[in-house]
Amino acid sequence: MSNLIHGGDLVSAAQRYGIPVEDWLDLSTGINPAAYPVPQIDAALFQRLPYQSQAFSDAVANYYGGEGLACNGTQQAIELLPKLSSERLVGEQITYPVLLPDCGYQEHRYSWQQAGAALKFYCANDHQQAVAQINQQLAKAEPCHLLLINPNNPTGLQFSPEQVFSWAEQMTEGSYLIVDEAFIDLCPEQSLLNDYDRFQQLGNLIVLRSFGKFFGLAGIRLGFVFAEPRLLNRLKTELGAWAVNGPAQAVAIDALNNQCWQQQARQQIAANAEVTQALWQPLFDRVGAELLCSRGLFLSARLESEIAEKIYQFLAERGVLIRLVRGEELGRSVQGISTEQSASICLLRSGLIDATEENQCKKLEMVISELLLTLE
Ligand SMILES: Cc1ncc(COP(=O)(O)O)c(C=O)c1O
């Protein structure tokens, strides 16, 4: 794994700010704060080797709409896929270039770089610009993989399934279209897997689904890859035996089959997103922050780096952890802004408050009010 900065690192924050881990309000991730209630787990599942059970495969097929390869979180697949897609192309280890969002989950960029691929970027802050840049690349009809994070973390950029299928149809032989759908569970009808037949027919699509975000259980490390059988088999060989442990399978069977919880969770997440935005808005208004995305499991706002750093620091000193996406991480093509200027722009990303936890709301409200007073 890389040394890239990720959200949710409360241990480091606790050390840095001298505040015990349990006293933090962690808004630095896009993980559902109202997690799926973990069921009682049969002790035998800790004792036996975790061969994949039929009940697990059935639950996966029912929830996602097709047969996926389970791994320890999609992070594991993100690390392996660039190496595998490079081998497939030619006898030698030649990797095609890849077109990536200029701002997105950084591990993608890192893995392709490690695999020796030439990196190209499209703008992840503006839908029209992104579509134009991707179309331009496809029009060249040269081998090039395409990576979409749909919806994008942290900018919220999202493409329709029709658009993505149409791009997959235009791609040259040997190029893959990888779609990271880590945050699609809130609108499952927007997943490519919803039209599983078309997905399968195309053969050059790879879909990644993360279990941890929507179900709020990132700690069990579970994710799924959907792709053509040959690539899946090679990935399976790389993952080795017993890729997913028994307790994780048991929790996933329960959660994936529980449609009632899933429906309620979608409503609760929408309500939590509204509350979270309402708590942030007075500060955003005051500092002139532009809200980029507010639906889903996080909200992102664009603002000047100097004030963003001040906000980050003020909150962290009071036990509230958020995530800043700074300078080069933010990408080269923030719309309408030159490269030099983009260094002075930051994205502030906040995870969701659990509105049923009154002290969480109060804590954020209080810290933001206090901060507003200092800005008078
Ligand atoms: C867009 C995106 N994809 C994939 C991942 C990896 O998630 P996991 O390994 O838990 O499936 C993350 C984690 O933050 C992410 O933001």
User: Do 371 and 314 touch, CB atoms closer than 8 A?
Assistant: yes
Residue 360 is part of which domain span? 10-36+260-374
Any atom of ligand 1 within 6 Å of the Cβ of 204: no
Instruction: List, for residues 211-232, the tens digit of each pLDDT value.
Output: 999 999 999 999 999 999 999 9
What atom in ligand 1 is closest to the CA of residue 211?
11
Residue 18 has pLDDT above 50, yes or no: yes
In total, how many domains does the chain have?
2
> Domain check: are 250 and 268 in the same one?
no
242 pLDDT above the threshold of 80: yes
User: Is 278 found in the same domain as 222?
Assistant: no
**Per-residue pLDDT tens digits for 177-218:** 999 999 999 999 999 999 999 999 999 999 999 999 999 999
Residue 338 in this model has a pLDDT that exceeds 60: no
Q: Where are the beta strands (DSSP E) in the chain?
A: 25-26, 69-71, 98-101, 119-122, 145-149, 177-180, 205-210, 223-226, 290-293, 298-304, 320-321, 323-325, 345-351
**Separation between Cα atoms, residue 351 and residue 218, nearest integer Å:** 14
Which pLDDT belongs to residue 95? 83
Residues 112 and 69 in one domain: yes
Quote the Cα angle for 119-70-194, to 5°.
80
Q: Is the CB of 210 under 6 A from ligand 1?
A: yes
Same domain, 23 and 162: no
User: Does residue 246 sit in the same domain as residue 267?
Assistant: no
Written as six digits, the tokens of 132 are 């134009």
309 found inside a domain: yes
Half-sphere exposure of 330 (CA within 13 A, CB side): 28
Question: Which of 207, 229, 257 lies at the terminal end of a domain, its last residue?
Answer: 257
- Residues 292, 245 within the same domain: no
Domain end call among 239, 257, 275: 257
Which of 173 and 160 is assigned the larger pLDDT? Answer: 160
Question: Does 66 fall in a domain?
Answer: yes
Range from 80-89, 248-257, 333-342, 358-367 carrying the lowest mean pLDDT: 333-342
Indicate if ligand 1 lies below 6 Å from the C-beta of 180.
yes
Residues 184 and 224 in one domain: yes
44 found inside a domain = no
Residue 224 Cα to ligand 1 middle (Å): 11
Q: How far apart are CA 353 and CA 276, in angstroms?
A: 6
CB 13 within 8 A of CB 24: yes
Inside any domain, residue 245: yes
Mean local confidence (pLDDT), 120-140: 96
Q: Which atom of ligand 1 is nearest to the CA of 212?
A: 10
- Classify residue 342: in a domain, yes or no: yes
Q: Are 170 and 197 in a shared domain?
A: yes
Cα distance from N-terminal residue to C-terminal residue, the chain: 44
Question: For the domain that residue 186 is a member of, what is the CATH number?
Answer: 3.40.640.10
Residue 131 inside a domain? The answer is yes
Q: Do 98 and 238 fall within a single domain?
A: yes
Q: Across residues 345-354, what is the average pLDDT?
A: 96
CA separation for the pair 193, 198 (Å, rounded): 9
pLDDT value for 90: 45
Over residues 250-303, the pLDDT tens digits come to: 999 999 999 999 999 999 999 999 999 999 999 999 999 999 999 899 999 999
CATH code of the domain containing 321: 3.90.1150.10
146 and 28 in a common domain: no
In a domain? residue 2? no
Whether residue 92 sits in one domain with residue 169: yes
Tell whether 5 is covered by a domain.
Answer: no
Ligand 1 within 6 A of CB of 75: yes
Check if 350 has its Cβ closer than 6 Å to any atom of ligand 1.
no
| Residue 143 sits in the same domain as residue 154 | yes
Asked which of 235, 257, 279 is the last residue of a domain, the reply is: 257
**Out of 76-80, 171-175, 363-367, least confident range:** 171-175
Q: Which residue has the higher pLDDT, 335 or 32?
A: 32
Q: Which residues on neighbouring strands pair with residue 69, listed in sequence order?
A: 225
